[in-house]
């Protein structure tokens, strides 16, 4: 009767701190929601102090600041986006990984020193 349920593999959940440094987070998940709600795949992140230059797979460049309360920081943690950028060709596994990522105040990695 319940064979369907047994077939479903549990998705491994990842936990990150809510106060994780936004640059470290982007470096880890390689995704970025633009102002128009497009979720881009990040090819490179170049950190220059409190600013970082993101280059997307569709060759767009974004300059971002390391603010936890920035629009993009909130959007990333809440996983808000309107559509996935078709030009960036973000693979499905990456989106699944992202959707199983949770942000907690007292639990999870701060993504320091490239651990985790
Ligand atoms: Zn893109």
36-74: pLDDT as tens digits: 999 999 999 999 998 999 999 999 999 998 876 788 889
Taking residues 90-98, what's their average pLDDT? 94
**Token representation of residue 11:** 């998705």
**Token representation of residue 33:** 């929601």
Instruction: Tell me how far the alpha carbon of residue 43 lies from the centroid of ligand 1, in angstroms.
Output: 10
Instruction: Tell me how far the alpha carbon of residue 60 lies from the centroid of ligand 1, in angstroms.
Output: 7
- Kindly report the average pLDDT of the chain as a whole number: 87
Helix then strand then coil, in percent of the chain rounded to 5, is 25, 30, 45
What per-residue confidence (pLDDT) applies to 56? Answer: 98
Instruction: Tell me how far the alpha carbon of residue 26 lies from the centroid of ligand 1, in angstroms.
Output: 14
Q: Whole-model pTM?
A: 0.82
Instruction: Tell me how far the alpha carbon of residue 28 lies from the centroid of ligand 1, in angstroms.
Output: 17
What is the DSSP secondary structure assignment for residue 12, as one 8-state letter? P
Instruction: Tell me how far the alpha carbon of residue 88 lies from the centroid of ligand 1, in angstroms.
Output: 4
């Amino acid at each position: 009767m319940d064979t369907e349920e047994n077939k479903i593999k549990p998705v491994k959940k990842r936990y990150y701190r809510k106060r994780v440094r936004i640059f470290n987070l982007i470096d880890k998940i390689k995704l970025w929601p633009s102002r128009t709600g497009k979720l881009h795949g990040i090819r490179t992140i170049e950190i220059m102090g409190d600013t970082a230059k993101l280059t997307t797979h569709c060759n767009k460049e974004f300059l971002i600041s390391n603010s936890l309360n920035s629009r993009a920081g909130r959007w990333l943690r809440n996983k808000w986006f309107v559509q996935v950028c078709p030009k960036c060709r973000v693979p499905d596994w990456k989106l699944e990984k992202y959707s199983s990522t949770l942000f907690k105040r007292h639990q999870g990695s701060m993504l320091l020193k490239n651990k985790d």
